[in-house]
Structure 1
Amino acid sequence: MCSRVKWTAEGQPVLVGRNMDWTARMGSKLYAMPKGVAREGLVDVNPLQWTSKYGSVVTIVWDCATSDGINEAGLCANLLYLAESNFGQRVTDLPGVSISLWVQYLLDTCATVAEAVAASQACQVQSFELVHQGTKVDAPLHLSLADASGDSAVVEILSGNMVVHHGPQYSVMTNSPIYDEQLVLLKQYEGLGGKKPIPGTMEAEDRFARGAFYLTKLPEDPGSYQAAVAGVLSVIRNMATPLGANDPERPNIAATIWRTFGDCTNKRYYFEFCDMPNVVWVDLDQLNLDADADTQLFDLAADLDAAGEVSAKFEPADPIVFQPAGTAVRCDGHGEVIGGESPLRGLSEATAR
């Protein structure tokens, strides 16, 4: 499931589009996260501890995990599915963080891709469990990063080891196989080093090839901001999976249910549900993200007429109770979200005012 592209052109901002593909609704909502919030990593031993330095706008799924977002420094982070992910045994010498908080930790504390890569390497990410189709599996995820300079990174955790591809050239990401293999497969296609025609299936390697190919077709000078945004949207939408096209045995082949779009330069965050025609966006400088501000919420699913810039629609909300590592969250119901029970739940946010 999921696709991501990054693109910029001379005189235009750094733009990041991503599709979220999943087999059921995720209860996804937009939250504004202020500075000055103390959090901990929600692992049993040696949890990572930090206080947010940057405010952010994020997409929260299942009411318990940050899956995507952008901060006021222009750092954009996206979690995508990778079946090969393996987080390994807990090494308690390193501070630990639940994967439900990985994106939030980086948006809270980092301004650049380089800082986010270093911060990830200095801790150990631990998974929670997803109950999907009645089966518990570790949340197998990998991470993409981009910043206002155009820098980019893809971060995988394989056999307990963090593997990082860091550089502006890493502009496309989907799912399996692992990234090294995706880069090899890419070279067989027309316009990318080989002679095969660009494929059109829902498989992750085919979506990867389509994204890489279509990025090469965007104009060097789009002419306007609107044209640049439309260009990247045209690519990420071409990487989408149609509604209803779910493989019950493979959650990495699932319909695209929502899409985000981060403008790292102008600190703007777009969001759309794929079963709704309206696109909303948030200019971070229109929100109160100061250290004395409330956590704020906007739920597009509860405001079906919303469109355009929606910062004025955010309302005060309770802080998120993030999912501790090693607990389970049900993620295959019809929008129903059942968080795991743990003595650690409720300890994820303590306001530092």
Structure 2
Amino acid sequence: MRPLRLAVVSCALLAVVGSFVSSTRACSRILWNDNGRSVLVGRNMDWFEDLKSHIWVLPRGMERDGLAAKNPMTWKSRYGSVVITAYDCVSADGINEKNLAVHMLYLSESSAGARDEKVPGLCMSMWPQYYLDNFATVAEAVASLEKSPYQLIMAVEPMSKAPTAIHLALNDQSGDSAVLECIGGKIKVYHDRKYTVMTNEPAFDKQLENLKRYRGFGGVEPLPGTAEPDDRFVRGAYYLARLPKPQTDRAAVAELMSVMRNVSTPFGVSEPGRPNVSATIWRTVTDLTHGVLYYDSVDSPQIFWIDTKSLNFDAGQPVRKLALTPDSDLSGDVSAKFARAEMFSFLKPN
């Protein structure tokens, strides 16, 4: 196991800390990298309201900047990607053409210091897209933190009044995994393929310690059943370890989806005034071996999928969008259903 690494990257907080208290949000991510068939990663999006999510195809060669008022980080996308947006102002989930997947989850403990304008700035709304645009593997992404340091800047989403208080999970087709958290003014990196489960608070190191209290992980406590992030973490780890070896790729997707449904939160469970406890609104399972993203909305009885290998990510290709509505009735392979669209704007720091 590789040791926990601390990347020397600072963060800046430009959000009103108290604003997250009035909203509720949560998520779960589970990586299944030892099933003998496909490397799969599941993700639940739990949120207190409709995120107005849509799915976008973004080509290579797009010019980006980190949205800092002074000295923003700049780059041109090396890889095309398929992303699911939140409020069409942040890439909340996605996979690039090299089968690197990135997942943005809420973390109330995100904290930072004052902006240092000598360091290139990167708004947290751009954080997931930065990795999708630039890296083919988790190892490359982690190494870049030392080679190309940046400073994170937080913002507040104007509709929900929620700050971009997040942490990231990165996974690739080899089964490698990393969790990135911005806490105490530094980005902490947990890099190991054994880091297969992630939810919300407490911070990742505390989640790993808490897991040891439960049966099957060295402790005596019974399996917990609430919607709290630490309980979802334990259940996800428990059921992931007990999945049978799948006989087909289709069975593998179904098995991981069953675990994602187990750690989902039903309608009506959101608790106003409590961060990280919200109903699940959509979930994904992404096949990192074959480059297929499966999407499951709680508003629909049907699952649809996108085969990224059938998409054209060439530089100069138009941005394309698949609009999602509660009554869209999408099912099966929808890779050909994207339509040309104007690029969405990433949320800027306040």
TM-score, length-scaled by structure 2: 0.89
CA drift of 1:137 comes to 5.2
Aligned to 1:311: 335
What does the per-residue CA deviation read over 1:309-349, in whole Å, with 9 as the maximum and x for residues that have no partner?
10110000001111112x2xxxxxxxxxxxxxxxxxxxxxx
Q: Is the 8 A contact 1:80 1:143 kept in 2?
A: yes
Aligned-partner SS, 1:227: helix
Aligned to 1:80: 105
Structure 1 counterpart of 2:211, from 174, 186, 199: 186
Structure 1 counterpart of 2:237, from 207, 212, 218: 212
Change (3 A) 1:32 1:106: same
CA drift of 1:273 comes to 1.4
Structure 1 counterpart of 2:287, from 263, 278, 282: 263
Q: Is the 8 A contact 1:155 1:165 kept in 2?
A: yes
**Does residue 126 of the first structure (1) align with residue 153 of the second (2)?**
yes
Aligned-partner SS, 2:50: coil
Change (3 A) 1:54 1:303: farther
Q: Is the 8 A contact 1:106 1:119 kept in 2?
A: no
Structure 2 unmatched ranges of 5 or more: 1-25
- Amino acid in structure 2 at the alignment position of 1:204: P
Q: Is the 8 A contact 2:123 2:154 kept in 1?
A: yes
Percent identity over the alignment? 46
CA drift of 1:94 comes to 1.9
Aligned length: 323
**Does residue 169 of the first structure (1) align with residue 175 of the second (2)?**
no
Q: Is the 8 A contact 2:299 2:326 kept in 1?
A: no
CA drift of 1:11 comes to 3.3
Aligned to 2:183: 158
Aligned-partner SS, 2:275: coil
CA drift of 1:63 comes to 1.5
Aligned-partner SS, 1:261: strand
What does the per-residue CA deviation read over 1:68-110, in whole Å, with 9 as the maximum and x for residues that have no partner?
1000101000000111001322222221111111111110110
Change (3 A) 1:19 1:10: closer
**Does residue 281 of the first structure (1) align with residue 325 of the second (2)?**
no
Structure 1 Cα separation of the partners of residues 59 and 32 of structure 2:
28
Structure 2 Cα separation of the partners of residues 305 and 185 of structure 1:
41
CA drift of 1:66 comes to 0.8
Q: Which runs of 4+ in 1 moved over 6 A?
A: none
Structure 2 counterpart of 1:28, from 53, 56, 61: 53
Of residues 50-59 and 81-90 in structure 1, the stretch that sits farther from structure 2 once superposed is 81-90
Structure 1 unmatched ranges of 5 or more: 328-353
Structure 2 Cα separation of the partners of residues 302 and 120 of structure 1:
39
Structure 1 counterpart of 2:276, from 239, 252, 272: 252
Structure 1 Cα separation of the partners of residues 39 and 180 of structure 2:
19
Aligned to 2:321: 297
**Does residue 62 of the first structure (1) align with residue 94 of the second (2)?**
no
Aligned to 1:98: 123
Q: Is the 8 A contact 1:23 1:254 kept in 2?
A: yes
What does the per-residue CA deviation read over 1:284-327, in whole Å, with 9 as the maximum and x for residues that have no partner?
111111102100000131762210110110000001111112x2
Structure 2 Cα separation of the partners of residues 89 and 113 of structure 1:
29
Q: Is the 8 A contact 1:129 1:138 kept in 2?
A: yes
Structure 2 Cα separation of the partners of residues 112 and 88 of structure 1:
29
Aligned to 2:65: 40
Aligned to 1:346: none
Change (3 A) 1:270 1:79: same
TM-score, length-scaled by structure 1: 0.88
Aligned to 1:239: 263
**Does residue 53 of the first structure (1) align with residue 116 of the second (2)?**
no
Structure 1 Cα separation of the partners of residues 226 and 269 of structure 2:
11
Aligned-partner SS, 2:122: strand
Q: Is the 8 A contact 1:30 1:58 kept in 2?
A: yes
CA drift of 1:112 comes to 0.6
What does the per-residue CA deviation read over 1:15-55, in whole Å, with 9 as the maximum and x for residues that have no partner?
00010111000100000000011111101111111111111
Q: Is the 8 A contact 1:282 1:311 kept in 2?
A: yes
Aligned-partner SS, 2:157: strand
- Amino acid in structure 2 at the alignment position of 1:296: R
Q: Is the 8 A contact 2:82 2:96 kept in 1?
A: yes
